[in-house]
Amino acid sequence: MKKDRGKILKPLYNVLNEAGEITKFALRFFKLIFNRPFEYNEFARQCYYIGNKSLPLVAVTALIMGLVITIQSRPTLVEFGAEAWLPKMVSVSLVREIVPVITALICAGKIGSGIGAELGSMKVTEQIDAMEVSGTNPFKYLVVTRVLATTLMIPVLTVLADGISLYGAYLGTNLRGVVSWNLFWSQVFDVLVYADIIPSLLKTFFFGFAIGIVGCYKGYNSQKGTEGVGLSANSSVVISSLLVFIIDLIAVQITDLLGLT
């Protein structure tokens, strides 16, 4: 009986412990964020790197999502004789939910694992120690810049992806039936109000922050050896993807409570 309880409690304890450690790590980030001098070059390099590395994948996925969602929604709307509503309905679900979450998940996979592996290998090859003896706070140089970069760039990528996915929706609408370019966009902007755009954009800052913090935490605390690095990369993807869904759930509740839906 006792043994069983141990089996259940141990993983629970581990999860809570990890959550506590990540929170501590995040607090350290907030403590150092206003510490001068700010590492502009590294921050800019990271922003460029994130954008450059994920934009192609994000763009293709967004275009496909726009197309697919449109094609799949059409039959249902046709059944209700509401085909004219297609652009409106599709654009709301794309901008509010699908594009932000998909973009975040792609970035969790590409950026999160990249950061986890990069910092992990810097840790095991003593590059982080070397920075420290070179009179540089490695947390500030590596973690603060990367977390700020993901927090800024994932919303930027999401906005771009929103645009691309709506273009996909436009193409999808025109596969059967004709809706002119102007009519399509006037319908989209008819239905999309600030209440759709602002909350869905706000949550992407949190997605970006979570991806950055988890990747950095996992890399920074990587275990010795090459398996340690692989493990860091892997678990940063798992944890940050999970966090994206949790944050999304919380964001929905909040917008609901505030009556923004």
| Minimum separation from the CB atom of position 107 to another protein (A) | 20
Which of these segments, 12-20, 134-142, 176-184, 195-203, binds another protein (CB under 8 A)?
Answer: 134-142
Give me the least distance between CB of 242 and another protein, in Å please: 29
Q: Tell me, residue by residue from 98 to 117, as one string, x for binding to another protein by CB under 8 A and - for no binding.
A: --------------------
Nearest CB to another protein, comparing residues 129 and 190 = 129
- Closest CB to another protein among residues 93, 137: 137
132 is a contact residue toward another protein (CB under 8 A) = yes
Q: Considering the rule CB under 8 A, would residue 135 count as an interface residue with another protein?
A: yes
If one asks whether residue 125 binds another protein (CB under 8 A), the answer comes out as yes
Instruction: Determine if 221 is a binding residue for another protein (CB under 8 A).
Output: no
Count of residues binding another protein (CB under 8 A)?
16
Q: SS3 sequence, the chain? A: CHHHHHHHHHHHHHHHHHHHHHHHHHHHHHHHCCCCCCCHHHHHHHHHHHHHHHHHHHHHHHHHHHHHHHHHHHHHHHHCCCHHHHHHHHHHHHHHHHHHHHHHHHHHHHHHHHHHHHHHHHHHCCHHHHHHHCCCCHHHHHHHHHHHHHHHHHHHHHHHHHHHHHHHHHHHHCCCCCCCHHHHHHHHHHHCCHHHHHHHHHHHHHHHHHHHHHHHHHHHCCCCCHHHHHHHHHHHHHHHHHHHHHHHHHHHHHHHHCCCC
